[in-house]
Amino acid sequence: MLNMFEVIETNNMIEHEKLDVRTITMGISLLDCCDSDLNALNEKIYKKITTYARNLVSTGEEIARDFGVPIVNKRISVTPIALVGGCACKTPDDFVTIAQTLDKAAKEVGVNFIGGYSALVCKGMTQAEENLIRSIPKALASTERVCSSINVGSTKTGLNMDAVRLMGEIVVETAKATRESDSLGCAKLVVFCNAPDDNPFMAGAFHGVTEADAIINVGVSGPGVVKVALEKARGENFEVLCETIKKTAFKITRVGQLVAQEASKRLGVPFGIIDLSLAPTPAVGDSVAEILEEIGLERVGAPGTTAALAMLNDQVKKGGVMASSYVGGLSGAFIPVSEDQGMIDAVSLGALTLEKLEAMTCVCSVGLDMIAIPGDTTPSTISGIIADEAAIGMINQKTTAVRIIPVIGKGVGDTVEFGGLLGYAPVMPVNQYSCEKFVNRGGRIPAPIHSFKN
Amino acid sequence: MSKVIITVVGKDTVGIIARVCTYLAQMNVNVMDISQTIVQEYFNMMMIADMEKASGTFEEISEGLENLGQEIGVAVKCQREEIFLKMHRI
């Protein structure tokens, strides 16, 4: 039978260490909505989403109440819209109407984000995919809750450098289109390499074509719980440190597994995966940077940061995989700058640079995330940053991503406020040397030699 | 069986257990186990109870307990047992 110590431990995690389930994300396939008539397509999309996800938010709230654990976000991911809209959309503006339909459906069912305004162009682009990409600035400027992601490369296919070049331009155009809100549109746009089909976390969530008609994916969190557990292991060696992280990750993930099973049962939708991620929020005590500092770094960014993060990420996975049979999505420690108070502080102090963040992305999920850069950064420089990050993913057979925000009208020394879970960020300097000739070559970077495994 | 864990945390005072148990009896909730301790003048109690034959829904009873806690001046929380079992039992 349960004892009091165990019950108090769990409730302390929830009440004092910010344990929560970060998101229940319902993946919905829109492939059966395809139609050559744009109005009919929009109607079908709206109807399917609002029917399937009708009870998503209320069910999430019920589960949170029953177990006494907060479920922070209820969200939806859909089939990449470039595939769904290809038949009906002849221009970028046609695609924008779908973005607006998604936004309307998200508001109707009460979810705070809907992901899947996406195109998978890791090898080449169809005309529809290019149209969707070109529609992104307008789509994100004219909607509130729609998130967009583009997959520009994979280990199997190499990097589509035409798409990388185009995305540099699109990121800047999106920043300009949303300049009134500190270029917030870019916070809802992710450029991926090796994008997973079942990621529940925004802004990169989409419902892959290999998935069932509808699915429930759950993203767990809990950096605060790991941090507090590690406080008790101060001065201990790495073996004790690793054991502590694994045990904590197991406990956190079990809560996610329970919530996922309940949501699946109550909504009558199959369970997909648990995403074992340490996802920070701007709240103090809910920070991945603070864990790294607890491990022994004066500030995140100091020498040793990459090794500490590699160890943390690996132990989280080792503890988490035993807690759930189906682990997927991104699964790792997130290192967004604006969403993590410890990262913000380290950047403000000059301890953490863009280059160090890039090194950190080699060993954890996911990539350069929520980083504000000067608004006058050129599209080719942004393409260069995307190419570097995608190359790390391609060579290391892992997911990497770029979600950077060139804040129009702001430069190094300024601060940008995104609000809510997106937090705030100091604008970080970018290397000023040009990569324009490299980016403008066009074509593809071939798949690496170790991808030929057949 | 529909087991729940009821926890009470707050400043110790006369009659906390009595009032919580009276409410549970009114709602036809069967108390299976009680443990309590006082840490630095703070009262900590945990009850394992069965709601199978309860005369209200989980939501109603959970809310009723919360309100009762406010009256007494302690925090009362009611959660389904599974969250603790999942976390602490393999």
Chain segment A397-447, per-residue pLDDT in tens? 999 999 999 999 999 999 999 988 788 999 999 999 999 999 999 999 999
Q: What is the CATH number of domain B3-88?
A: 3.30.70.260
Please give the C-alpha separations between residue A164 and each of A156, A179, A438, in angstroms, as whole numbers: 17, 23, 11
Nearest C-alpha in A relative to B90: A323
Partners of residue A2 in chain B, C-beta under 8 Å? 5, 46, 48, 81, 84-85, 88
A65–B86 C-beta distance less than 8 A: no
pLDDT band at A276 (very low <50, low <70, confident <90, very high): confident
Look at residue A297 in the predicted model and tell me its pLDDT: 96
Nearest C-alpha in B relative to A10: B84
Instruction: List, as one string, the DSSP characters of A192-242.
Output: EES--TT--SSSS----TTS-SEEEEEEE--HHHHHHHHHTTTT--HHHHH
A255–B87 C-beta distance less than 8 A: yes
pLDDT band at B1 (very low <50, low <70, confident <90, very high): low
Residues above pLDDT 90, as percent of chain A:
89
Look at residue A265 in the predicted model and tell me its pLDDT: 96
Angstroms from A269 CA to nearest CA on chain B:
21
Model pLDDT for residues B40-82, shown as the tens digit of each residue: 778 899 999 999 999 999 999 999 999 999 999 999 999 999 9
Angstroms from A248 CA to nearest CA on chain B:
10
Angstroms from A420 CA to nearest CA on chain B:
28
Look at residue A67 in the predicted model and tell me its pLDDT: 95
Average pLDDT over residues A187-200: 96
Are residues A335 and A309 in contact, defined by beta-carbon separation less than 8 angstroms?
yes
Average pLDDT over residues A327-337: 90
A1–B7 C-beta distance less than 8 A: no
Of B59, B80, B84, the CB nearest to A7: B84
Mean pLDDT of chain A: 95
Average pLDDT over residues A197-205: 94
Partners of residue A67 in chain B, C-beta under 8 Å? 79-80, 82-83
Which sign, positive or negative, has the C-alpha torsion A117, A263, A250, A273? negative
Look at residue B47 in the predicted model and tell me its pLDDT: 94
Look at residue B42 in the predicted model and tell me its pLDDT: 85
Pick from A341, A400, A336, A326: which is nearest to A372 by CA? Answer: A336
Model pLDDT for residues A73-132, shown as the tens digit of each residue: 999 999 999 999 999 999 999 999 999 999 999 999 999 999 999 999 999 999 999 999
Look up the pTM and report it.
Answer: 0.93
Are residues A28 and A52 in contact, defined by beta-carbon separation less than 8 angstroms?
yes
**A339 is written with which tokens?**
């969403």
What is the set of domains in chain A, with CATH numbers? 14-193 (3.20.70.20), 219-377+384-445 (3.20.70.20)
Look at residue A166 in the predicted model and tell me its pLDDT: 98
What is the residue whose two structure tokens read 């009708």? A54
Angstroms from B76 CA to nearest CA on chain A:
12
Q: What is the SS3 assignment for A117?
A: strand
Nearest C-alpha in B relative to A68: B79
Question: Does the bond joining A218 to the residue before it have cis omega, within 30 degrees of 0?
Answer: no
Look at residue A10 in the predicted model and tell me its pLDDT: 92
Checking if the pLDDT of A303 tops 80, the result is yes
**A136 is written with which tokens?**
């992104």
One-letter amino acid at A289 equals A
Model pLDDT for residues A44-75, shown as the tens digit of each residue: 999 999 999 999 999 999 999 999 999 999 99
Partners of residue B77 in chain A, C-beta under 8 Å? 11, 68
Predicted ipTM of the assembly: 0.90
- Domain definitions of chain B by residue range: 3-88
